[in-house]
């Protein structure tokens, strides 16, 4: 038993001298590496989809089957103060039957809720075939979304002079930030 106690005492004394030496060891820290982080968020001005995708006009009253809802989403830099939503035709013909019957843009009346009302022969984004427009001030809301309602109807004066046929045309919507 004495040998065991002597061994135990020797082990305890050895640990007593070794542990403080390790406890006093200094901490080593590696060098620092950095990684640069970047992100670019571009400006955006998006419209659509416009609903419904098509409307039809009454051949006797010129009224449309409904209004068109045009959603707009924007995320603009601080230099922009407004954007304008345009409705326009690509040509001076709004509707044609393919056999010579045409409805000129000057016979289409239009309006945007909160915007202008007028014939579709105004100067604008669509050239000389622009319908109603709606300007929207962005100075306090550089990022957001909204929906605008577009309505159209045909001047009754042209309806009686149209030859029979199935008339088709395309109305365009676009937005421009200034």
At 120, list the tokens.
């579709």
Which segments within 41-97 are labelled E, that is strand?
44-47, 68-75, 82-88, 93-96
Where are the chain's structural domains? 44-177
Query: Average pLDDT, stretch 2-20?
Result: 57
Among the residue ranges 14-23, 81-90, 141-150, the one predicted with the least confidence is 14-23
**Can you give the pLDDT at residue 19?**
54
Which segments within 14-126 are labelled E, that is strand?
44-47, 68-75, 82-88, 93-96, 102-104, 108-112, 117-119, 122-124
**Can you give the pLDDT at residue 24?**
67
For 155, other C-beta atoms within 10 Å of its C-beta total 14
Model confidence, pTM: 0.77
| Architecture label for domain 44-177 | Sandwich (2.60)
Query: Is the confidence at residue 5, as pLDDT, over 60?
Result: no
């Amino acid at each position: 038993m004495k040998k065991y106690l002597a061994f135990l005492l020797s082990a305890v004394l050895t640990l007593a001298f070794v542990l403080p030496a390790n406890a006093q060891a200094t901490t080593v820290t590696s060098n620092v590496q950095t990684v640069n982080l970047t992100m670019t968020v571009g400006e955006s001005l998006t419209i659509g989809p416009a609903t419904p995708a098509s409307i039809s006009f009454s051949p006797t009253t010129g009224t449309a089957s409904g209004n068109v809802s045009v959603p707009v989403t924007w995320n603009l830099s601080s230099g922009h103060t407004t954007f304008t939503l345009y409705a326009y035709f690509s040509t001076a013909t709004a509707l044609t039957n393919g056999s010579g019957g045409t409805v000129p843009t000057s016979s289409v009346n239009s309006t945007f809720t909160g915007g202008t009302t007028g014939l579709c022969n105004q100067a604008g984004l669509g050239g000389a075939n622009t319908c109603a427009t709606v300007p929207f001030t962005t100075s306090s809301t550089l990022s957001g979304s909204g929906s605008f309602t577009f309505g159209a109807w045909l001047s009754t004066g042209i309806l009686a002079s149209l030859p029979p046929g199935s008339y088709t045309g395309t109305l365009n919507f676009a937005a421009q930030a200034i």
